A and B are shown apart, each in its own frame.
Chain A
Amino acid sequence: MKHINRRTRTLMEDAAGYAFISPWLLGFVAFSIIPILFSLYYSFTDYDILGDPVFNGLNNFRRMAGDQLFWQSLKVTFFYAFVSVPLRLIFAFFVAMLFNRGTRAIRFYQAVYYVPSLVGGSIAVAVMWRRLFMADGALNAALAKIGIITEYSWIGNPDTAIWTLIVLAIWQFGSSMLIFLAGLRQIPKELYEAASIDGAGSFRKFLNITVPQITPVLFFNLVMQLINGFTVFTQAFVVSGGSGDPLNSTLVYALYLYQRAFKFYNMGYSSAMAWVLVLIIGVMTGIVFKTSSSWVFYEAKEGK
């Protein structure tokens, strides 16, 4: 009798649990699982949305290998991610170090430095950014003030256009900074005190305490920012006017994928590209995870 009771109780709990998570579970099936399965199927088809998908095996992937723009978008994206992510993290870490002290004004400064990240995703800022780096934009006007006269369009030149996007990404270092700051505040003060007693200078303390203690946070930031870097879309779309110009120098991967789907209606090709993106992100984060054991410092808990 008792164990039947227990059985109904677990059944009741199962029912309650699934009832509570049902919004997410339904959404997960409807907006993730089903689309993911469709996406996988489409990636092996030729599909222009008007007709029916036509199975074409590995054709999309073969076509990619010969698609100049595909390789161009990969090149742009790798460059963007590999330049902007480290620079952004270095900058975020530097500013977090600067703010890691107990002045009352810090709260205010934090807010000021966070504002660009707050509005950075908005179209207003992307539009303004485009204007800032034009030949008659504010950057050249500011340069003229210090005596450098240039009619150079930073946004219109294929060599520098991607850099305007990189600068935009670095400019929004706010949330990485806050996460670093939280990490810095968690480093036990005793470590520094003990090091002082041993006669360590501030540079030694930085190198032997701060850096190793912050690596778990760095690891987290690195993974998140890499994913963000490889999927960047809106800024590139707006700054380049949706084209990836000049000369496809700002044609990031997500932008090209979008164009394939919604400008040329190559739904199959675009889906195949999405899976290549998954693969790239998987390999990237995989490398970070794999190498993490050699550079991420975790407190040895059993040693006490």
Chain B
Amino acid sequence: MTNYKIKHILGQTVFHIVVILLGFIMLYPILWMVSNSFKDNADIFNTSSLIPETFRFDNYARGWRFNNSVTFSTFFYNSFYYTIISTIGSVIASSLVAYGFARVPFRGRSFWYGCMFMTMMIPYQVVMVPQFIIFHKLGWINSFKPLIIPQFAGLPFFIFLMVQFIRQIPYELDDSAKIDGCNRFMIYSRILFPLIKPAVITSTIFSFYWRWDDFLGPLLFLNKPRLFTVSLALRMFSDPMTSTDWSAIFAMGTLTLLPVLVIFLIFQKYIVQGLVTTGLKG
């Protein structure tokens, strides 16, 4: 073997060892939570070991029952309901708006596009209080309306992402569709929407997990346990004043991470692409 080759293999080995070690530290807290979800309550404390001495699956059953009057079935149903409807609304609305901005040369277009960018810079805290008061006066508190309806306006991030995508698609397609007798809505729905699939998928995934993880919204607008989303339920569950059943809390915590992780595993390629092209938050 040449000197160079040895050096190369050595370098590669060191690289992989460093990356794997660091990766383990990165994942440790999550693995710890999953492992705790199988441990006895007494074992969670004073042990950093990832492998439980005895596997206890009843943590999951206990956690799921929550306080017996409302169970995690309700919370998961609420979360899925609100997440899925919001996601459908925001993605479809965003694509409509993006088509308008990218393809229709109307007056005031760049002004409104600029306004949209501005809204991304304004912290939510500014609109939080008045939104709460408006929704309160409308009688929308303790319903999913304040969480869902604003999503139907589309999300600036998604609109931006889709506009970037549509701009890469040649105009000739629109023109030939027009000659074939398509109106603008048909061009949008039949030609462009299918072509911006990567942007649509990216937006769908991001919307799903932003909604799923959202905490402040449900905290502000929902205060009946029957309406709680999983994140709200988990936070009430882990209230330091009342709870000591950490195994059950970690069991439910693990379950709430599952949908996000599963979607990530399936669509990893799109998520990484989407992040790279837009540089979204986080």
| A interface list, Cβ under 8 A from B | 10, 13-21, 23-28, 30-32, 34-36, 38-39, 42, 49, 95, 98, 103, 105, 109-132, 136-142, 144-145, 171-172, 174-176, 178-179, 181-182, 220-221, 224, 227-228, 230-231, 233-234, 237-238, 241, 254, 257-258, 261-262, 267, 270-271, 273-275, 277-278, 281, 285
Contacts and interface: CB of A to CB of B under 8 A. Distances in A.
A24 B159 contact: yes
A105 B23 CA distance: 13
A223 to B, nearest CB: 9
Contacts of B26: 112-113, 115-116, 171
B51 interface: no
A245 to B, nearest CB: 10
Interface stretch (B27-35, B53-61, B168-176, B196-204): B27-35
Chain A residues touching B, majority SS? helix
A114 B280 CA distance: 13
Given A13-B106, A116-B26, A20 B154 contact: no
Chain B residues touching A, majority SS? helix
B123 A19 contact: no
Given A19-B100, A131-B36, 12 more contacts: A20-B100, A31-B127, A39-B129, A105-B16, A119-B30, A125-B30, A127-B235, A132-B32, A175-B279, A175-B282, A238-B215, A261-B132
Contacts of B260: 118-119, 122
B129 A118 contact: no
A122 B257 contact: yes
B30 to A, nearest CB: 7
A23 B106 contact: no
B253 interface: yes
Interface in B2-24: 12, 15-16, 18-19, 22-23
A273 B256 CA distance: 34
A14 B19 contact: no
A128 B250 contact: yes
Contacts of B254: 124
A27 B112 contact: no
B14 to A, nearest CB: 11
B153 A23 contact: yes
B227 interface: no
A276 to B, nearest CB: 10
Contact of B272 (A27, A114, A127, A285): A114
Interface in B262-282: 264, 268, 271-272, 275-277, 279-282
24 contacts: A13-B106, A16-B100, A16-B104, A16-B106, A19-B100, A23-B93, A26-B153, A27-B150, A31-B131, A39-B130, A49-B136, A115-B26, A115-B261, A122-B257, A124-B253, A220-B279, A224-B279, A224-B281, A231-B123, A262-B220, A267-B133, A271-B129, A273-B125, A285-B121
B235 A267 contact: no
Contacts of B215: 121, 123, 234, 237-238
Contacts of B33: 124-125, 128
A14 B109 CA distance: 9
B150 to A, nearest CB: 5
Which of A14, A221, A230 has the most chain B CB within a 10 Å cutoff? A14
Nearest to A20: B100
A32 B134 CA distance: 12
A254 B125 contact: yes
B242 to A, nearest CB: 11
B125 A27 contact: no
Contact of B150 (A17, A31, A234, A270): A31
B99 interface: yes
Interface in B214-233: 215-216, 219-220, 230-232
Contact of B268 (A13, A111, A267): A111
Contacts of B99: 20
Interface in B127-177: 127-134, 136, 150, 152-154, 156, 159
Contacts of A227: 121, 123
B19 to A, nearest CB: 5
Given A118-B209, A128-B253, A274-B123, A17 B109 contact: yes
Interface in B105-132: 105-107, 109, 112, 115-116, 119, 121-132
B216 A233 contact: yes
B74 interface: no
